[in-house]
Amino acid sequence: MTIKSHLVTCIVCPQGCQIQVRYEDGLLLEIKGNRCKRGKSYAWQEIQNPQRILTTTVRVIGGELPLVSVKTDRPIPKELIFKTMDLLAGIELKAPVKMGQVVLDNILGTGTNVVATKTVKKQEDSHQR
């Protein structure tokens, strides 16, 4: 049994605390350096199962804009970020796209959805004006 130690930079608030986490066989021994309770739980989560909110864009066909911004509706495991990006690269939405519209549901079985964060209207045909 080996005691492990990791330094984590907290991103929960603007303070950016450097938090030292010591653990052994998955059991927390000590966390120090955090200036708030949220930092402590973030650092331990980061050691056990790092997660991130993914923000990116998806192509829109026939829209006023060629892309729509999207994000996950909750964090996903960090190890799934690139697989999720690959899935999103193959998606093309047909305009109109509404803010909050689910673009990809239940990403890789996580129960997390990717949703549009902006409305993209359908491009009007210049002959109809």
Residue 129: its pLDDT value, please? 45
Predicted confidence at residue 124, as pLDDT, reads 85
pLDDT by residue, tens only, the chain of 129 residues: 799 999 999 999 999 999 999 999 989 999 999 999 899 999 999 999 999 999 999 999 999 999 999 999 999 999 999 999 999 999 999 999 999 999 999 999 999 999 999 999 999 865 544
CATH 3.10.530.10 for domain 55-128, yes or no, is: yes
pLDDT value at position 79? Answer: 96
* Domain ranges, ordered by start, for the chain: 3-48, 55-128
pLDDT score recorded for residue 125: 61
User: How distant, in Å, are the alpha carbons of 56, 63, 68 from that of 95?
Assistant: 18, 5, 10
Query: How much is the pLDDT for 1?
Result: 76
The sheet with strand 27-32 has its strands ordered as: 3-9, 18-24, 27-32
